[in-house]
């Protein structure tokens, strides 16, 4: 399968292995939605979570390879959770285009879109 112009979602993309995946997919020509928690340090952990600035840095590195890229702050362990900035929402793949949407979530029901990463139709066009 040709990856040029296709859309890919990479979680844990701020640093380390996820960042390595993102850069290689970008080298192959894929447009990318880059997902990470973007949380400040958590005192209960023995290591630091990736910061939002690290995710932003990966986005810029990916864009310099000539593909489209967008950052998505999300917690993959929660269906509809966005603890990074205190909002509740959902990350989902759109029906007609490969876009990621984060929505406010009130009492379990999705509200307005607060963040969107539109990556095109995914067919190379």
Partner 1 sequence: MGVNVKGVFLCSKACIPAMRKRGAGAIVNTASVAGKTGHGNVAAYCTSKFAVVGFTQSLAEELGPDNIRVNAVCPGFLHTAMWSDVLDPVVAPSLGVNREAAFDTYVERNTFLRRAQTPDDIGDAVVYLCRADNITGVALNIAGGAEMH
Residues that bind partner 1 (CB under 8 A): 1-3, 8-9, 11-12, 16-17, 19-25, 27-28, 30, 46-48, 76-79, 91-95, 98, 122
Backbone angles phi and psi of 19, in degrees to 5: -65, -40
Smallest distance, partner 1 to C-beta of residue 9, A: 7
* Dihedral sign for Cα atoms in the order 108, 113, 36, 92: positive
Q: How near is the Cβ of 17 to partner 1 at its closest, in Å?
A: 5
**Toward partner 1, which CB reaches closer, 3 or 114?**
3
- SS3 string, 64-85, reads CCCCCEEEEECCCCCCCEEHHH
Rounded to a whole number of angstroms, the minimum distance from the CB of residue 105 to partner 1 is: 15
The encoded tokens of residue 47 equal: 């290591």
């Amino acid at each position: 399968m040709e990856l040029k112009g296709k859309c890919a979602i990479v979680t844990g993309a701020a640093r380390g292995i996820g960042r390595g995946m993102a850069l290689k997919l970008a080298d192959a020509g894929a447009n990318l939605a880059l997902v990470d928690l973007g949380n400040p340090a958590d005192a209960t952990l023995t290591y630091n979570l990736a910061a939002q600035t690290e995710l932003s840095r990966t986005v810029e590195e990916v864009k310099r390879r000539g593909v489209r890229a967008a950052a998505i702050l999300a917690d993959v362990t929660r269906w509809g959770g966005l603890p990074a900035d205190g909002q509740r929402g959902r990350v989902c793949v759109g029906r007609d285009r490969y876009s990621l949407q984060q929505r406010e979530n009130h009492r379990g029901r999705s509200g307005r879109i607060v963040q969107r990463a539109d990556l095109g139709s995914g067919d190379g066009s």
